[in-house]
């Protein structure tokens, strides 16, 4: 509900709307008794249904209102109107730093003046235990007297009751200025996350452009986590090395390597400027930096292993871990390159090897009779029969008549992890079999999940059918109870099968049910962060990342997880992002019914569930679930 000009909100009369964002709308208002104008930021109406959010809003608003600093926009009041929480702040008449930068290139003196003010504000707030979490030029306001203010202090923390996704407006923080730890979804943030963001702002002011930009928020966040910072002096040759040192330290990927306080960062900046005798900045630096950054990205694309992914192009030579690469001081993940020939045994083909492997494994590990029987299954059964018996997630591929290659000839279900050395030997022997990578990933998953993700990422290039491959990866992840990764791999399997209508239909049964039931096992599921962790940006071009991030299956499982976590507002937000053409699918309707039940809207839930139960085209598991819910809630 929008507030209208002239409307009275408590003691404040609305004058005009100033702006609107993902979580709030800002109005200019007038307080008659105090004869002053104020800015009112009102949270969107959809939030009022979430009592936990409102309670958190009040707690955080009290903290923010306690901050008193000449360069922090003061909060005068906080309350709610018809259930909509709002903040009352000082009305700062002026422009944002972003607007100033667009209008004209700032001088060096102007840059230093703003940075000193903002740095002082951050140091003060951090000393009070308050983080900003969204330091960026559009949150720095310069009034008509040229006084800089840091605005929206603490609102990013208030928004943390929302969801940090890679494609929604409710993104916690802004991708271009977000610290790696914040982008990774880490909870225990401290002042150094704001130091990183301030360092990116300084980089933009001095060098001419932000270091990382891309077609999607996903790509930008990935770069903040993995890509080395483009050298300031190479992007803009006028940047002295002493100044570059300050920029590199403030934007280190590792929080421990950054400045402890913003004041310390600004002192070093002043010393660096003085030492270098830098007196002015090139007014054309933005266009110069734009060209240099484009060249940097082209060069980076040609560097093997420039991210945490395993090498996908180098010819395998040795199984010994290589020396970690270092780019601009950023250490990447250890790279394993399996050789083309190993120490195990030579085999005529992968199928024969797998029979020998599992029979030998049963003896070596003293496995149960079930595992011994597995050897007999391997010897007498076709791969398709074995998949149905041992890998439930793969049943739809068989039903749809998909040609199964050797990568699905491994029944991971309930197989104990192999010793890493043994699994690595298999990878040596069969370096171009996707199955080998899944075996090795399983062997190290419980001690080094990141290595498992990277191994699975590497194995995709050897897969004849990525949909089948990711279904297998999900099975392995489920076995080790890494449910977030399992869900992500199932969704990638859906994505890879997107052009096969028959296969998609078959997957809705077992794979669709798996997503639904596993949502209850995931803790505050954040698919955006999980996609980054398992290396999705390295496996797909940027144009496909947004599609993956908005797949209906992912939105459904996210919505259901939010319902189970007790956050119906975010559940509704996820459901509302589903394309209209898919809104009436049984899967979506089932979750909408669950959402209605969570809000005690029994009549709506009953109507939806009865429709689903009567839909003969719906998968059996959905109809059964609808029937159970009707009975459980006495809605029959």
What are the two backbone dihedrals, phi and then psi, of residue 107, each rounded to the nearest 5 degrees?
-80, 165
* 84 and 48 Cβ atoms separated by less than 8 Å: yes
Element holding 234 (H helix, E strand): helix 232-235
**Residues with active-site annotation:** 134
Of the candidates 194, 226, 28, the one whose C-alpha atom is nearest the C-alpha of residue 127 is 194
Q: How far is CA 64 from CA 4, 155, 277, in A?
A: 27, 8, 39
For residue 356, count CB atoms less than 10 angstroms from its CB and return exposed for 0-12, middle for 13-18, buried for 19 or more.
Answer: middle
CA distance 586 to 520: 19
CA distance 488 to 453: 11
Q: What angle do CA 386, 439, 370 make, to 5 degrees?
A: 45
Of the candidates 191, 10, 180, 187, the one whose C-alpha atom is nearest the C-alpha of residue 84 is 10
* 27 and 14 Cβ atoms separated by less than 8 Å: yes
Q: How far is CA 179 from CA 171, 190, 212, 270, 320, in A?
A: 13, 11, 12, 23, 33
* 122 and 150 Cβ atoms separated by less than 8 Å: yes
| Three-state DSSP class for residue 100 | helix
CA 185, 191, 194, 198 dihedral sign is: negative
Pairing of strands 24-31, 94-96: unpaired
What are the two backbone dihedrals, phi and then psi, of residue 343, each rounded to the nearest 5 degrees?
-100, -10
- Which string of b and e fits 526-558 if b means at least 16 CB within 10 Å? bbbbbbbbbbbbbbbeeeebeebbbbbbbbbbb
Residue 107 neighbours by CB under 8 Å, 6+ apart: 280, 281
* 236 and 181 Cβ atoms separated by less than 8 Å: no
Q: For residue 8, what are its two tokens?
A: 């009275």
| Three-state DSSP class for residue 309 | coil
Q: For residue 450, what are its two tokens?
A: 């990141």
Q: For residue 202, what are its two tokens?
A: 């300084």
Residue positions counted in the chain = 636
Residue 167 neighbours by CB under 8 Å, 6+ apart: 216, 217, 218, 528, 546, 549, 550
**How far is Cα of residue 16 from the mean position of the Cα atoms in its chain?**
36
Complete DSSP assignment for 561-573: HHHHTT-HHHHHH
């Amino acid at each position: 509900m929008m507030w209208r000009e002239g409307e009275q909100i408590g003691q404040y009369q609305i004058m005009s709307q100033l702006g609107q964002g993902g979580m709030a709308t800002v109005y200019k208002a007038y307080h008659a008794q105090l004869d002053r104008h104020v800015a009112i930021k009102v949270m969107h109406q959809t939030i009022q249904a979430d009592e936990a959010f409102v309670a958190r809003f009040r707690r955080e608003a009290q903290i923010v209102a306690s901050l008193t600093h000449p360069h922090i926009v003061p909060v005068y009041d906080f309350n709610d109107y018809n259930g909509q929480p709002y903040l009352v702040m000082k009305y700062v008449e002026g422009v944002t730093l972003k607007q100033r930068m667009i209008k004209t290139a700032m001088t060096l003196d102007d840059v230093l003046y703003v940075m000193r003010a903002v740095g002082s504000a951050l140091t003060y707030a951090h000393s009070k235990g308050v983080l900003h979490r969204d330091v960026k030029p559009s949150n720095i306001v310069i009034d008509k007297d040229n006084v800089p203010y840091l605005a929206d202090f603490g609102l990013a923390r208030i928004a943390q009751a929302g969801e940090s996704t890679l494609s929604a407006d409710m993104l916690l923080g802004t991708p271009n200025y977000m610290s790696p730890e914040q982008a990774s979804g880490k909870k225990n943030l401290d002042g150094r996350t704001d130091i990183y963001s301030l360092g990116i702002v300084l980089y933009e002011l001095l060098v001419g452009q932000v270091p990382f930009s891309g077609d999607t928020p996903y790509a930008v966040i990935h770069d903040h986590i993995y890509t080395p910072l483009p050298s300031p002096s190479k992007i803009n040759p006028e940047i002295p090395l002493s100044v570059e040192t300050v920029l590199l330290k403030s934007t280190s990927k590792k929080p421990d390597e950054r400045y402890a306080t913003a004041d310390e960062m600004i002192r070093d900046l002043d010393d660096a400027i003085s030492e270098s005798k830098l007196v002015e900045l090139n007014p054309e630096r933005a266009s110069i930096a734009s060209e240099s950054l484009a060249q940097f990205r082209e060069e980076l694309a040609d560097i093997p292993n420039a991210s945490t992914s395993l090498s996908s192009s180098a010819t395998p030579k040795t199984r010994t871990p290589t020396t970690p690469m270092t780019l601009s001081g950023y250490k990447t993940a250890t790279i394993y390159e399996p050789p083309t020939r190993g120490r195990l045994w030579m085999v005529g083909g992968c199928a024969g090897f797998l029979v020998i492997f599992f029979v030998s494994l049963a003896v070596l590990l003293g496995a149960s009779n079930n595992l011994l029987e597995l050897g007999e299954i391997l010897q007498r059964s076709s791969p398709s029969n074995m998949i149905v018996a041992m890998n439930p997630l793969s049943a739809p591929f068989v039903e749809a008549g998909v040609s199964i290659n050797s990568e699905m000839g491994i029944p991971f279900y309930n197989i104990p992890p192999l010793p890493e050395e043994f699994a690595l030997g298999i990878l040596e022997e069969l370096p171009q079999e996707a199955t080998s990578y899944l075996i090795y990933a399983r062997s190290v998953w419980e001690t080094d999940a990141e290595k498992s993700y990277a191994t699975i990422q590497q194995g995709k290039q050897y897969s004849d059918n990525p949909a089948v491959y990711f279904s297998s990866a999900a099975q392995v992840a489920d076995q080790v109870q890494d449910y977030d990764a399992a869900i992500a791999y199932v969704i990638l399997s859906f994505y890879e099968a997107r052009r096969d209508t028959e296969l998609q239909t078959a997957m809705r049964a077992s794979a669709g049910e798996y997503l639904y039931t596993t949502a209850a096992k995931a803790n505050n599921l954040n698919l955006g962060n999980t996609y980054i962790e398992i290396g999705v940006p390295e496996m797909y071009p940027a144009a496909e990342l947004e599609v993956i991030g908005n797949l209906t299956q992912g939105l459904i499982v996210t919505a259901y997880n939010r319902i189970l976590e007790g956050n119906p507002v975010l559940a509704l937000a996820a459901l509302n992002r589903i394309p209209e053409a898919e809104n009436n699918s049984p899967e979506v309707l089932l979750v909408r019914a669950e959402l209605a039940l969570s809000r005690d809207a029994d009549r709506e839930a009953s109507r939806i569930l009865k429709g689903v139960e009567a839909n003969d085209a719906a998968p059996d598991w959905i109809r059964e679930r609808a029937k159970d819910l009707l009975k459980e809630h006495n809605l029959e």
